[in-house]
């Protein structure tokens, strides 16, 4: 169904913050593209270009203390929920100072206690039941927290997506699932994932509300997500939202996305979420100058911090599998005294 | 002191942990009013209510993911699989998510997975499997497999209190077959510690689960040999020290398990002994295991599949004579 946004747009000060985080997401993404070509990024690099509004609009719709499970293209969510640009950059570069200390790469980190962010894994859809369980746990402890997570048009085909929403719906858990329909799962178009015109119609399988929104309009994303988070918090069970967008780069840097028709890129370039929001916001010169300054210093500082940070020492590889490191560590035969 | 069956001991262990710690709760199919397929949780719903005896839809991958999420926010879920074979449906969230969480980003997952396991009940290929090594080979989860009521009670408690994921395997052929006096409010038994069932000096026999009882039966026919029988109790982490110490004493070791041969824990034990006690060995490390096949259904086939008392006796005699 089309949403009837029940909430008003946030005040200008908040909108300016949303704009800053849209820009920060893109700026870090652009710098990461350069670092990747310099061979400095560990692992793949997955761009959120063109999809930033979904991350930022939804992240701003949550309350402090809510839980969020981002996917690989939700670096905006991670930033907007309180992780620093330094954390993002140092994790890309696999440094000892990064949130995972080099144990995992990319956008794979979080901090439940500090930001409510859960580290994602590459098996898509897995976060749906996990976030349902966090909502369950919070409810058992008498807390009114909402859990929100994202799947792509591809991950909406996984068993985890269905099983997680089956569990969440019969338990009436405060879970919001956003289908970020960017039209391609790697090279596979959405038409090869589902016969549905709107993936939000999958909500009918679970007896829960389903909404469709414009993923390139940050205020619409905010408004629909806000309504869904409020409903979930008030005990109306899980909510499913589909935001339509287009992934403006390949699956990762190595992929030139030649399978996407050029006219599709042209069409969606005109809908760029940052340019659209800019037209709406009409920034004053002072606002613009202060924002550009903050942006540049934040990004420069993050890159500098990441580049100058030490790499993790090799012996760290054997630590942290279990609470008790002795389980994994032992002296191999050739290192023992005769 | 109450005399408890293997099943009652597990049930009692769960009950006492739920009484002691409000963060402990159960999840699984049919575990509420029905009390679970094997009745391990009979009576729990009335005592602890539907929130802590949470009946799930038929969606293993979904409720395992949810258990991990609940563990993330400080609860201690205990997930029942109706038969442990169905854990295969939830392999992804366990090995990719629960097992890697602490390592990747320092987030503990205090969750226990448990369920009826193993063969010798004529239950066929999908209700008899030995899943232990799937998980022993996935760094990040402990694998526990007791063989007596008191060990079962002590080890289920240890799993629940552990701050890492644990897989607790309950041999269903033992559920109602063995009984033992187990005190109320007995303490947890440490994970990772083997138990010497019988001391001996001529040959070490290592096993776990149902095969502990078959080995004991075999010992009745091996009274002329001094056999040291060790019950591993934990498959991961292995009690390397106990194995090496025993071999240093006996110089000969055989491993008996119901699990299939290739990649079974016997191979790992052979490697440990080879590396750490080679000089002490007076014979080859012998494996008595099932063959590399699915578990067959017909009783005659299943008996041929499982290591028999005869197999254990013959292997022990041949090794002793080496």
Whether the CB-CB separation of A274 and A216 falls below 8 Å is answered with no
Chain A nearest C-alpha distance from B140 (Å): 6
Whether residue B121 lies inside any domain: the answer is: yes
Over range B27-39, report the average pLDDT: 98
Q: Do B64 and B175 lie in a common domain?
A: yes
Mean pLDDT in residue range A94-121: 96
Question: What range does the domain containing A275 cover?
Answer: 12-335
Q: Is residue B33 domain-shared with residue B69, that is, in the same domain?
A: yes
Same domain for B167 and B226, yes or no, is no
Specify if B167 maps to a domain.
yes
Reference B17, options B182, B192, B120, B156; nearest CA is: B156
Which residue from A minimizes the CA distance to B191?
A327
Taking residues B200-212, report their average pLDDT: 98
In B, which residues are within 8 Å of A121 by CB distance? 96-97, 100
Residues 6+ apart with CB under 8 A from B114: B10, B78, B79, B80, B81, B156, B159, B167, B168, B169, B170
Report the residue from B72, B139, B162 with minimal CB separation from A118. Answer: B72
Model ipTM value: 0.96
Provide the pairing of β-strand B179-181 with B3-5: antiparallel
Residue B159 inside a domain? The answer is yes
The span from the CA of A324 to the CA of B163, in Å, is: 10
Same domain, B118 and B87: yes
User: Of B128, B154, B181, which one is at a domain's C-terminal end?
Assistant: B181
Is the minimum CB–CB distance between A166 and chain B shorter than 8 Å? yes
Distances (CA, A) of A167 to A140, A230, B184: 15, 20, 35
DSSP conformational letter for A259: T
For residue B75, being part of any structural domain is answered with: yes
Interface mutation vs chain B, best among A107, A112, A161, A163, most B CBs within 10 Å: A163
- Say if residue B168 is in the same domain as residue B209: no
CB contact set of A232 (below 8 Å; sequence gap of 6+): A146, A173, A174, A175, A176, A238, A239
Residue A141 sits at the chain B interface (C-beta within 8 Å): yes
DSSP code string of A49-99: TT-HHHHHHHHTTSPTT-EEE--TT-HHHHHHTT--HHHHHHHHTT-TTST
Angle between helix A52-59 and A12-37 (nearest 10) = 140
- Which pLDDT belongs to residue A330? 79
Number of domains within chain A: 1
Q: Is the pLDDT of residue B274 over 90?
A: yes
Residue B109 belongs to a domain: yes
Burial string for B2-11 (b: 16+ CB within 10 Å, else e) reads: eebbbbbbbb
Q: Minimal CA–CA distance to A59: which of A11, A91, A18?
A: A18
For B280-315, what is each residue's pLDDT tens digit?
A: 999 999 999 999 999 999 999 999 999 999 999 999
pTM: 0.97
In this prediction, residue B132 carries a pLDDT of 98
Token digits of residue A90: 């140092």
Q: Catalytic residue positions of B?
A: 127
Q: Are B169 and B203 contained in the same domain?
A: no
- Residue B30 burial (10 A CB sphere; 0-12, 13-18, 19+): middle
In this structure, the dihedral spanned by the alpha carbons of residues B130, B133, B134 and B137, taken in order and rounded to 10 degrees, is: 170
Which residues of A, range 118-137, sit inside 8 Å of B by Cβ? 118-119, 121-123, 126, 128-137
Contacts of A164 in chain B (CB under 8 A): 62, 65-66
In a domain, A1, yes or no: no
Record: contact B72-A133, CB cut-off 8 A:
yes
CA B24 to mean position of chain CA atoms: 21
Among residues 291-320 of chain A, which lie with CB inside 8 Å of chain B? 320
Residue A1 has pLDDT above 70, yes or no: no
Q: Are residues B12 and B146 in the same domain?
A: yes
- Interface residue A328 vs chain B (CB under 8 A): yes
Please answer yes or no on whether A164 and B65 come within 8 Å at the CB atom: yes
pLDDT of the residue at A8: 82
Same domain, yes or no: B139 and B222: no
Nearest CB neighbour to A129, from listed B62, B108, B276: B62
Is residue A6 included in any domain, yes or no? no
Residue A6 has pLDDT above 70, yes or no: no
B62, B101, B140 member nearest A163 (Cβ): B62
Residue B215 DSSP code = H
Strands A184-185 and B3-5: unpaired
- Assign A5 a pLDDT band (cuts: 50, 70, 90): low
- Cα separation, A48 vs A54, in Å, equals 10
Buried b / exposed e over B122-145, threshold 16 CB at 10 Å, is bbbeebbbbbbbbbbebebbbbbb
Q: Could you tell me how many CB contacts below 8 A there are between chain A and chain B?
A: 145
Tokens at A191, concatenated: 């038409």
- For residues B288 and B274, what is the distance between their CA atoms, to the nearest angstrom? 17
- Residue A7 resides in a domain: no
Instruction: Convert the pLDDT of each residue in A36-76 to its tens digit.
Output: 999 999 999 999 999 999 999 999 999 999 999 999 999 99
Query: What is the domain-level CATH number for residue B244?
Result: 3.40.50.920
Residue B288 near residue B317, CB atoms below 8 Å: no
Is pLDDT above 60 for A230?
Answer: yes
Cβ–Cβ gap A130/B192 under 8 Å:
no
Q: Do residues A305 and A91 lie in contact, with contact meaning Cβ atoms separated by under 8 Å? A: no
Decide if B100 is inside a domain.
yes
Q: Please name every residue paired with B53 in a beta bridge, in sequence order, or none if there are none.
A: B26
Rounded to 5 degrees, what angle do the CA atoms B153, B159, B160 make? 90
Domain final position from B150, B181, B212: B181
Report how far residue A175's alpha carbon sits from residue A165's, in angstroms, rounded to the nearest whole number.
9
Give A147's contacts in chain B (Cβ within 8 Å): 69
Identify the three-state secondary structure at position A113.
Answer: coil
CATH code for position A192: 3.40.50.970
Asked if B65 lies within 8 A of A109 by C-beta distance, the reply is no
Task: State the pLDDT at residue A69.
Answer: 98
Considering CB atoms only, which of B56, B65, B140 is closest to A126? B65
DSSP line for A266-306: HHHHTT-HHHHHHHHH---HHHHHHHHHHHHHHHHHHHHHH
Contact: B100, A126; criterion CB under 8 Å: no
8 Å CB contact of A126 and B97: yes
One domain, residues B169 and B209: no
| Structural domain containing residue B18 | 3-181
Q: pLDDT for A113-130, tens place per residue?
A: 999 999 999 999 999 999
Flag whether pLDDT at A2 surpasses 80: no
User: Which 3 state secondary structure label does DSSP give A151?
Assistant: strand
Asked whether residue B83 falls in the same domain as residue B148, the answer is yes
Count structural domains, chain B: 2
B-chain CB neighbours of A159 within 8 Å are: 61
> Could you tell me if B96 and B7 lie in one domain?
yes
Same domain for B219 and B175, yes or no, is no
CA-to-CA dists, residue A336 to A330, A332, B207, angstroms: 10, 7, 28
State the CB neighbour count (10 A cutoff) for residue A315: 8
Residue A110 Cα, gap to closest chain B Cα (Å): 7
pLDDT > 70 in chain A, percent: 98
Q: What is the CATH number of the domain that holds B127?
A: 3.40.50.970
Q: Answer with the one of B181, B209, B242 that is the final residue of a domain.
A: B181
CB atoms within 10 A of CB A39: 7
Q: How far does B141 lie from chain A, in Å, by closest CA?
A: 8
* Band of residue A337 on the pLDDT scale cut at 50, 70, 90: confident
Domain annotation covers residue A2: no
Structure tokens at B239: 């009690």
What is the least distance, in Å, from the CA of A5 to any CA of chain B?
30
Is the pLDDT score of B40 beyond 90? yes
Residue A188 falls inside a structural domain = yes
């Amino acid at each position: 169904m089309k949403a009837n946004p029940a909430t008003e747009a946030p005040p200008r000060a908040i909108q300016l913050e949303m704009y800053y985080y849209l820009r920060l997401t893109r700026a870090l993404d652009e710098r990461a593209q350069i670092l990747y070509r310099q061979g400095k990024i560990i692992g793949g690099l997955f761009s959120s270009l063109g999809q930033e509004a979904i991350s930022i609009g939804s992240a701003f719709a949550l309350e402090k203390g809510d839980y969020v499970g981002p996917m690989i293209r939700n670096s905006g969510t991670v930033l907007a929920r309180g992780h620093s640009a330094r954390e993002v950059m140092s994790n890309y570069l696999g440094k000892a100072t990064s949130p995972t200390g080099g144990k995992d790469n990319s956008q794979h980190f979080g901090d439940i206690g500090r930001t409510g962010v859960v580290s994602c894994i590459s098996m898509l859809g897995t976060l749906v039941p996990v976030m349902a369980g966090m909502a369950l746990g919070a409810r058992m402890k008498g807390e009114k927290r909402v859990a929100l997570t994202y799947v792509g048009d591809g991950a909406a085909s996984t068993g985890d997506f269905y099983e997680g929403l089956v569990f969440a719906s019969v338990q009436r858990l405060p879970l919001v699932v956003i289908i970020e329909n960017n039209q391609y799962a790697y090279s596979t178009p959405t038409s090869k994932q589902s016969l549905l015109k709107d993936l939000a119609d999958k909500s009918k399988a679970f007896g829960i509300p389903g909404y469709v929104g414009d993923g390139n309009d940050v205020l619409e994303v905010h408004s629909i997500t806000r309504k869904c988070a409020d409903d979930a918090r008030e005990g109306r069970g899980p909510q499913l939202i589909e935001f339509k967008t287009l992934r403006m780069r390949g699956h990762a840097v190595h992929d030139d996305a030649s399978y996407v028709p050029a006219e599709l890129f042209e069409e969606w370039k005109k809908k760029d979420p940052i340019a659209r929001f800019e037209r709406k916001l009409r920034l004053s010169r002072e606002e613009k100058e202060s924002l550009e300054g903050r942006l540049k210093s934040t990004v420069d500082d993050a890159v500098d911090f990441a580049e100058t940070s030490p790499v993790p020492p090799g012996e760290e590889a054997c630590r942290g599998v279990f609470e008790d490191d002795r389980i994994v560590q032992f002296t191999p035969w050739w290192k023992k005294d005769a | 002191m109450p005399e408890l069956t293997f099943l009652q001991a597990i049930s009692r262990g769960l009950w006492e942990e739920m009484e002691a710690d409000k963060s402990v709760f159960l999840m699984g199919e049919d575990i509420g009013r029905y009390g679970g397929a094997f009745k391990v949780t009979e009576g729990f719903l009335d005592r602890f209510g539907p929130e802590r005896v949470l009946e799930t839809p038929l969606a293993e991958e979904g409720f395992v993911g949810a258990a991990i999420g609940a563990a993330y926010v400080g609860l201690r879920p205990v997930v029942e699989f109706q038969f442990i074979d169905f854990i295969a449906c939830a392999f992804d969230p366990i090995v990719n998510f629960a097992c890697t969480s602490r390592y990747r980003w320092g987030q503990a997952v205090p969750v226990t997975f448990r369920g009826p396991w193993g063969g010798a009940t004529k239950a066929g290929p999908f209700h008899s499997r030995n899943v232990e090594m799937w998980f022993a080979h996935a760094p990040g989860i402990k694998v526990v497999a007791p063989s007596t009521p008191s060990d079962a009670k002590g080890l289920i408690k240890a799993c629940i209190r552990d701050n890492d994921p644990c897989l607790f395997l309950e041999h269903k052929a033992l559920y109602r077959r063995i009984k033992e006096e187990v005190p109320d409010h007995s303490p947890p038994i440490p994970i990772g510690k083997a138990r010497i069932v019988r001391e001996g000096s001529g040959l070490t026999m290592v096993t776990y689960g149902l095969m502990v009882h078959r080995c004991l039966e075999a010992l009745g026919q091996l009274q002329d040999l001094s056999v040291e029988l060790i019950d591993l109790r934990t498959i991961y982490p292995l009690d390397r020290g106990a194995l090496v110490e025993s071999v240093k004493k006996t110089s000969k070791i055989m491993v008996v398990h119901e699990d299939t041969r290739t990649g079974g824990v016997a191979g790992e034990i052979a490697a440990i002994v080879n590396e750490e006690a080679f000089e002490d060995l007076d014979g080859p490390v012998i494996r008595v295991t099932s063959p590399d096949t699915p578990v067959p259904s017909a009783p005659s086939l299943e008996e041929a599949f499982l290591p028999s008392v005869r197999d254990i006796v013959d292997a022990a005699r041949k090794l002793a004579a080496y």
